[in-house]
Amino acid sequence: MHDSAKLGTAELLFKRAQLLNLQPAWVIPDGLFAVTIDGREVYVNFARSPLNADNSASLAKDKYLTRLVLQRHGMPNIPFDRPTSLAAAEDFLAQHQKIVAKPVKGAGAHDIHIVTQAQQLRDLSVEEYILEKYVAGQEMRYLVLNGQVIGVHHSEYGTSVAADRPLQRHSYPKAEWDEALVESSLQISQILDLHFAAIDYLVDSSGRAHVLEVNTMPGLKWFHAPTSGPIVDVAGLFMDAVVEHYKIVSEEFIDVQR
């Protein structure tokens, strides 16, 4: 299974579709592929998972909207702001001294800035970013599929999320999962109506967890080839769920036609 370390998410899903005899065929190499389910050709594009409704996925993709929704439900947010001016951004920095600027609709660890000086804000188009208080801690990921946590690991980035550095992911056996974070992850998935999502937390030195972000299209290879700990066949579980999803859709369509 550790050979999967060389495979990206789309490749892992494609290989699983082959094992399921779904006759996968690439439409776009290493991106979109077609499979046959109950005689019907359907398409797998992990960036737009069929398991999540478009409204839910778009809500989770917007980091500011996600924060607002989590705030409404009393979830453990990191203090945040969506500045409408440089002055507002500087006020937020003055309040927290050290902050993180993230693109509102960014993906992955791209264009993320750790800010400690006002001049750094002046070099950004701050209206395009969400600002969050910098919280030091261990990053934990809880992966949820159809109302169940299926994998947990923590990430080691080195000294800075902004630096170009090797990433390590350490997988946890179920007996070591934090029950409070399992419950929180299931609750967040339910609030956002997500059937597949990675809920990321920062756990600070006091043991308090803060929601870092909600990701509806997390990479899968680290679950298949973690740096250490148990391997989780997420691609298999995901493709099984996709097959079941399309079978239900087909049955509902037939019922409507009757």
Residue 59 pLDDT > 50: yes
**Which amino acid is it at 217?**
M
**Count of the separate structural domains present in the chain:** 2
Q: pLDDT (tens digit, 9 = 90+) per residue, 101-120?
A: 999 886 656 788 999 999 99
- Taking CA 63 as the corner, what is the angle to CA 61 and CA 67, rounded to the nearest 5 degrees? 125
- Pick the closest to residue 124 from 152, 83, 95, 177 (CA basis): 83
Same domain, 9 and 109: no
Average of per-residue pLDDT values in the chain: 89
pLDDT given at position 167? 76
Average pLDDT estimate for 84-108: 91
Task: Show the tokens assigned to 1.
Answer: 């299974």
Q: Is the dihedral of CA 150, 185, 127, 116 positive or negative?
A: negative
**Which amino acid is it at 163?**
A
Say whether 238 sits in a helix, a strand or coil: helix
Same domain, 88 and 201: no
Same domain, 32 and 15: yes
Task: Show the tokens assigned to 236.
Answer: 């298999």
pLDDT given at position 96? 97
Lowest mean pLDDT of 7-16, 92-101, 178-187, name the range: 7-16
Same domain, 229 and 150: yes
* Pairing of β 129-133 and β 80-81: antiparallel
Q: Which domain covers residue 7, as residue numbers? A: 2-76+136-257
Q: What is the rounded distance in angstroms from the CA atom of residue 209 to the CA atom of residue 72? A: 18
Find how far residue 155's CA is from the centre of its chain.
13
Average pLDDT estimate for 56-75: 94
Same domain, 44 and 84: no
DSSP string for 175-208: GGS-HHHHHHHHHHHHHTT-SEEEEEEEE-TTS-
Same domain, 92 and 118: yes
CATH of the domain at 168: 3.30.470.20
Average pLDDT estimate for 75-97: 96
